[in-house]
Structure 1
């Protein structure tokens, strides 16, 4: 019997989804585009807001708040769509994900800053950084904060995190980016360091 999760519709959630046995299932540009397409497709029918995301080669992180439907429904649709695409493209049989997604409610403004920064720092938190500059990692929402002229996906809201910045930081996305670059974050649910090969850029 599946245990029902408590869900607060007014909160953001830090969601982590991993490949089965932590295998890499997002290795190529096309894999990353397919995952992004899955979020775009589901968003058209079941709206949600994301403040931060980062797609890595064997897992992804998002900071998400559903607008109408449950988090469980949205994640099920996203993961099912990517799984079908992956199986079709690679002739894969069986599941590609490790159990069910992990989700933790982020209920405070400071928590949103810490978790979003942690998510954005993933490519440089590995034992061998995947990029020298976070703005150069293409599979994350960080470049959209770094360059506000970039057209963001419709599910990304860039107007919230900057308003949560503490003094002496300015309440701008530029200041938020500096915050991400300056402070190494820790979150309760992910204490290990990933040993990953970088995805195809």
Structure 2
């Protein structure tokens, strides 16, 4: 029987569920969970999606992803494929890591979004050491929601969900922890302390438009980097690698282009080379101060 078509929409929020095949743990060590989160961060740089919450357990994981105008299949394929390659290399194995394709469910309204986030944050309660302090589980966003742990990778937009409960940070956090534990004040761990470094939540949802002209992206990049336009189209031109990488990344980000689409626009590139250039582009915007604001600058230029 053929698989049902996945429900997809470029302005949707999704509950994503991933699970390992039965004979292995999806994350054998904390290092594996750290790697998965770093891959989420990496592919945020490629596709510009938002994460409203996550919880990574031993053999499965939950994500709440706002595709923000992108494609959920492209996002998850990139993350999971890279993780499977990492996992198989590290543990000297081959074959599948994930159980079938990832499962996804559209989040249709704010009430469901709040309930869903509480549900996934509730997962570690099955672990003995976290039965009374689920907020301390490191690989869940609950601690970030409550302000007791920093989002060091800057992956999560926790404000968006929390403001649905109350714009006042302290009130929202008190309501949320009750929702997660599903009990009254007496049952909540007495020494849970909220760090009130802010007084109000301010987060608006807007969908990124992904239909930009690729030629305008090339023109923007060559002006930004100062390279001759013709060199972007030259094969094996090392001087143009940086500019090509930025062109590829911005086309993935703002055009929703496949690697094949990008090959047609730039020319003289293989699919594997485009993939490599995309990875180089991500590294550039994260590590080179000259280009750390290029995505924002392109947006500004496109509306100027």
TM-score by length of 1: 0.80
How far the C-alpha of 1:88 sits from its partner, in A, is: 1.0
> For 1:49 and 1:171, how far apart are their aligned partners in 2?
24
How far the C-alpha of 1:179 sits from its partner, in A, is: 2.1
Q: Is the 8 A contact 1:54 1:60 kept in 2?
A: yes
Relative to structure 2, which stretch is displaced further, 43-52 or 154-163? 154-163
Residues 43-64 of structure 1 deviation map (CA, whole Å, 9 limit, x = unaligned):
1111111111000000100011
* Higher RCO structure (Cα 8 Å, ≥6 apart): 1
> For 1:141 and 1:22, how far apart are their aligned partners in 2?
27
1:122 has 2:127 as partner:
no
How far the C-alpha of 1:152 sits from its partner, in A, is: 4.8
> For 1:92 and 1:120, how far apart are their aligned partners in 2?
31
Alpha-carbon spacing, 1:14–1:144, altered in 2? closer, same or farther (3 Å): same
| Aligned residue in 1 for 2:68 | 67
> For 1:151 and 1:121, how far apart are their aligned partners in 2?
19
| Aligned residue in 2 for 1:11 | 12
Alpha-carbon spacing, 1:116–1:98, altered in 2? closer, same or farther (3 Å): same
| Aligned residue in 1 for 2:97 | 96
Alpha-carbon spacing, 1:149–1:95, altered in 2? closer, same or farther (3 Å): closer
| Aligned residue in 2 for 1:142 | 142
Alpha-carbon spacing, 1:111–1:22, altered in 2? closer, same or farther (3 Å): farther
> For 1:60 and 1:136, how far apart are their aligned partners in 2?
17
Q: Is the 8 A contact 1:15 1:104 kept in 2?
A: yes
Residues 63-119 of structure 1 deviation map (CA, whole Å, 9 limit, x = unaligned):
111123200000000000111110111111101110000000111111001110001
| Aligned residue in 1 for 2:107 | 106
> For 1:31 and 1:180, how far apart are their aligned partners in 2?
26
| Aligned residue in 1 for 2:44 | 43
| Aligned residue in 1 for 2:194 | none
TM-score by length of 2: 0.54
| Aligned residue in 1 for 2:179 | 179
Relative to structure 2, which stretch is displaced further, 129-138 or 63-72? 129-138
Alpha-carbon spacing, 1:154–1:141, altered in 2? closer, same or farther (3 Å): same
User: For the pair shown, which has the larger CA radius of gyration, 1 or 2?
Assistant: 2
How far the C-alpha of 1:141 sits from its partner, in A, is: 0.7
How far the C-alpha of 1:170 sits from its partner, in A, is: 7.1
Q: Greater share of strand residues, 1 or 2? A: 1
Number of aligned residue pairs: 179
Q: List structure 1 segments (4+ residues) > 6 angstroms apart after TM superposition.
A: none
Within 5 Å, give how 1:149-164 maps onto structure 2: 150-164=150-164
Secondary structure in structure 1 of the residue aligned to 2:158:
coil
How far the C-alpha of 1:159 sits from its partner, in A, is: 1.1
RMSD of aligned Cα (Å)? 2.2
> For 1:11 and 1:118, how far apart are their aligned partners in 2?
19
Unaligned ranges ≥5, structure 2: 184-304
